[in-house]
Amino acid sequence: MTTTARLHIDWTRCDGRGLCSELLPELLTRDDWGYPLSSDHRDPILDTGQLPVARDAVSLCPRLALTLAPPN
């Protein structure tokens, strides 16, 4: 797996619509209120194959709560 980026969720913007978890079910689930959760409660790390779908999630997020950042 080649790490390319991490998906950051801005919790001050997110309102739990769930589009990101629908597009990236291997990275995100939803809590009881619809907010996205990663398995370790950190920004999910993306590999090369996940990057195109993650870019779609970022561009389609209605609250602009998602960004792609360099991996740490």
Residues in the chain: 72
d(CA 6, CA 43): 6
Q: How far apart are CA 69 and CA 55, in angstroms?
A: 11
Rounded mean pLDDT, 29-52: 94
Q: Which domain holds residue 61?
A: 3-69
For residue 54, the domain's CATH number is 3.30.70.20
Per-residue pLDDT band for 3 (boundaries 50, 70, 90) equals: confident
Per the structure, the count of domains in the chain is 1
In the chain, DSSP assigns E strands to 3-9, 28-30, 36-38, 45-47, 66-69
Residue 1: per-residue pLDDT: 63
Q: What is the pLDDT of residue 4?
A: 87
Looking at residues 27-53, what average pLDDT do you find? 94
Question: Does residue 35 register a pLDDT over 70?
Answer: yes
